[in-house]
Amino acid sequence: MDEITLNLLVIAAVGLLAGMIFLLVKRQQAHAEQALLQFAVENGLKYEKMRTPLASGFRLDGSGWSLESASRSSGQPTGEAGSSNIRLDTLWHTDLPGSALLIGERMSNADLGGFGEMLMRQFLQMALGSEADGLQEVQTGSLEFRQKYVVFARSPDAFRPGPALESALLNWRGQKPLIRRTADGLDIEIRGARLQKPEELLQLINFGKILQTVVRDL
């Protein structure tokens, strides 16, 4: 077998392998979309596929709330090896505006002094924009809750999680949610994750219903 024939066989084998991988990926995508459609029908939800040059994903609409799960690109190269400009995000939203509130996972108990305070203010600013002004950490809920989550509000009496919300957060599976209430409404954001499995979506939707009840009663 001469070198040209060998090269042609290698190219053909690579092409065949690439084609098989492409078909497998398309089949998996079709299966995932069919599972989403079935989930939407079973739960009385409106399903909408999202696809633009810089984003792909889907949207679910329920009674008084919406959920978007998408992959988004900035459209610009990162310029760094091993890095990506693709952002994964899942966002549940309902129109329940009110005084600024932020609940998120407590990342570290390390005492960083003034530097730690600066990082926290930057985080609040990124999450809430101008509505972050005047927020303070409030000590609320059980000891276990306070060890795992941090709450920022305008006053110590502005928020009480209650047993149902505490239980849902303490038993949360997967990437922890970021809860944000502003003048635009109430959001639950799962950063760095595009939820699409029915069990993941159901967990987020049920949690949203609990959160709606807690916030509405404030």
**Backbone φ, ψ for residue 19 (5° rounding):** -65, -40
64 part of a folded domain: yes
- Total domain count, the chain: 2
Instruction: Please check whether residues 51 and 38 belong to one and the same domain.
Output: no
Which H, E and C letters describe the chain, residue by residue? Answer: CCHHHHHHHHHHHHHHHHHHHHHHHHHHHHHHHHHHHHHHHHCCCEEEEEEECCEEEEEEECCCEEEEEEEEECCCCCCCCCCCCEEEEEEEEECCCCCCEEEEECCCCCCCHHHHHHHHHHHHHHHHHHHHCCCEEECCCCHHHHHHEEEEECCCCCCCCHHHHHHHHHCCCCCCCEEEEECCEEEEEEECCCCCCHHHHHHHHHHHHHHHHHHHCC
Instruction: Please check whether residues 15 and 37 belong to one and the same domain.
Output: yes
136 part of a folded domain: yes
217 or 116, which is more confident? 217
Instruction: Please check whether residues 20 and 94 belong to one and the same domain.
Output: no
Instruction: Please check whether residues 104 and 27 belong to one and the same domain.
Output: no
Instruction: Please check whether residues 10 and 56 belong to one and the same domain.
Output: no
* Cα-Cα-Cα-Cα dihedral sign, residues 152, 189, 166, 111: negative
Flag whether pLDDT at 2 surpasses 80: no
Instruction: Please check whether residues 20 and 64 belong to one and the same domain.
Output: no
207 part of a folded domain: yes
Domain of 23? 1-42
Flag whether pLDDT at 201 surpasses 80: yes
107 part of a folded domain: yes
pLDDT band at residue 130 under the 50/70/90 scheme? confident
Instruction: Please check whether residues 143 and 92 belong to one and the same domain.
Output: yes
Instruction: Please check whether residues 63 and 33 belong to one and the same domain.
Output: no
Instruction: Please check whether residues 136 and 176 belong to one and the same domain.
Output: yes
Instruction: Please check whether residues 133 and 113 belong to one and the same domain.
Output: yes
81 part of a folded domain: no
Mean pLDDT, residues 103-117: 67
185 or 26, which is more confident? 185
